[in-house]
Structure formats: structure tokens, C-alpha cells
Amino acid sequence: MSAPLLEIANLTRRFGGLVAVDAVGLRVAPGEIVGLLGPNGSGKTTVLNLVSGALRLDAGTIRLDGAPIQGLAAFRIARLGVARTFQLVRVLGSMSCRENVLAAIAFGAARAWGEPARRAADALLARTGLAGREEALGTELTYIDQKRLELARALALRPRLLLLDEWLAGLNPTELQSGIALVRSLRAEGIAILLVEHVMDAIRSLCDQCVVMNAGRTIAQGRPEQVLQDHEVVRAYLGDADA
Ligand SMILES: Nc1ncnc2c1ncn2[C@@H]1O[C@H](COP(=O)(O)OP(=O)(O)O)[C@@H](O)[C@H]1O
Ligand SMILES: [Mg+2]
């Protein structure tokens, strides 16, 4: 097994009396897709927020390539090669799609400006399904297109690790197949992905490993086919605490 790109240990975050993330550990190897599953409210988005530096942790360690990154500002973590999309999308509405991506290109590790940056931006938009929408404003996009724009922006940072928060949710069956193919092509380029997802087809066909959370804790880990037939996992998804 290769040394982990991302290694989380004992990760803990409280909101008042609620332990949203309770001593969670997981590893993502370079070029691996790890699925983070669990019912709503189980702490998945909070884990991504802690890894990306959007939230401070209360305890634990987060290592990227062996070096601790917990406590670093979000922009520093991004510069180290960690990019993300949000469950509730956050594109810059008053800017065009191209400008949204150009802003990320200017900020990213491979900083570029002018015509090369513009070509790179348009190529990323085409890749995520936004060819022809380069001039459209963020506010003019459908929800799905805003998600595509967020992914183009994340890829503009040339990440080593991509955090996707329900990026495939809400796609129709055709879009879902192309979305799955896109995520797979990112892995083929060597990008490691921590994928929060509910779409079972996507989990089965994409994930090398899965980690299942419930009420802040890890309740199962392993390959998707093993994890999805685990009794505790089934029970957590059905929401039957007494079963
Ligand atoms: N900023 C916050 N302030 C207070 N509570 C929060 C905050 N973010 C998340 N929570 C709570 O933490 C728990 C886990 O939330 P979240 O990580 O969003 O779960 P998931 O992504 O698995 O649905 C939920 O009970 C949620 O209400
Ligand atoms: Mg969430």
C-alpha cells in the first residue's frame, strides 16, 4: 500500500454540546477515490470543512503527505494542493464562468494570466460540461451548471487531493454517467478524491475504499461491496436505531 496522501486521525469537532465529528480516522492514498458515506447529519461535510481549513478542529491530526496541516488557513491548504466543491454551491454570481475559473487559475499553484490562462479556463469549462457557457454569469446558471463551474474552479487549482461534497447529486441518469466518467478521468490523472456521496451507483463504480459515518463516528470501512452490505451500515441508512 502506498504512503497516504491524506491521513486523518482522531479528528474531532464539536458544535456546542453536539460532537459532529467524533474521533474519525481515514486515509486516502495518492490517486485513490475514497467514499465518505452516511446518513444526513452524520458529519461528512464537517470532515471536509476540517480538511480544507474552513473549520477549526477540536482534536486530532490531519496530515498531507506526512506533514500536519490542521490549523493552517484555508488558502494555505488550497496552495498545498487541496481543492473542494461545496454541498451548497458557492460560485461568484456577478462574474462569468470564464472569470470564475480565471480567478482560480491566477490564485493556483500554476499561476497564469492572459491568453494561456483563458485557454486553460475554457478547456476546464469544456471538461466539466460548460462549453458554450463561458460568458454566462454565475447567477444565470442552473444549479447543476453551478456545480460544474465549482468543479472547474477546483480543478484550476491543480489539486493533488479533491474534496467533492455530493457533486453527483441531482444529476439525471445521462448526466450521472458522464459525471462518473469525469471523476474517473480525474483519478486516472493521479488526483486523489475524497467523495461524499449518496448515489449508490456512483459509490460502487468509483470508490476504491469507503468510510461510513453515523452520528459523528466511523461505523464501517472497507471496499464498497463489503461496506454496503454491513448490517450496521444498512441500519444507519434506514434510520432504525432499535433494529
Ligand atoms: N456550523 C455549524 N454549527 C452548528 N452545527 C453544525 C454546523 N455544521 C454542522 N452542524 C451540525 O453537525 C452535524 C453534522 O453536520 P454535517 O457535517 O453537515 O453532516 P452531513 O454532511 O453528514 O449531512 C449536524 O447535526 C449539523 O446540524
Ligand atoms: Mg453534508
For ligand 1, atom 1: residue with the closest CA: 15
Q: What is the structure's pLDDT at 109?
A: 61
Confidence grade of residue 85 (pLDDT, cut at 50, 70, 90): confident
* Confidence at residue 19, expressed as pLDDT on a 0 to 100 scale: 98
Ligand 1 atom showing the smallest separation from residue 42 Cα? 22
- Mean pLDDT over 126-152 rounds to 93
The alpha carbon of 130 is separated from its chain's Cα centroid by a whole number of angstroms, namely: 20
Mean pLDDT across the stretch 189-199?
95
CATH architecture of 6-81+159-242: 3-Layer(aba) Sandwich (3.40)
Confidence band (pLDDT; 50, 70, 90) for 232?
confident
pLDDT at site 242 = 47
* Residue environment code for 91-113, b if the CB has 16+ CB neighbours within 10 A, otherwise e: beeebbbbebbbebbeebeeebe
Domain ranges of the chain: 6-81+159-242, 93-158
The closest residue, in CA terms, to atom 4 on ligand 1 is 15
Mean pLDDT of 121-128: 96
pLDDT digits (tens, 9 = 90+) for 150-177: 999 999 999 999 999 999 998 899 989 9
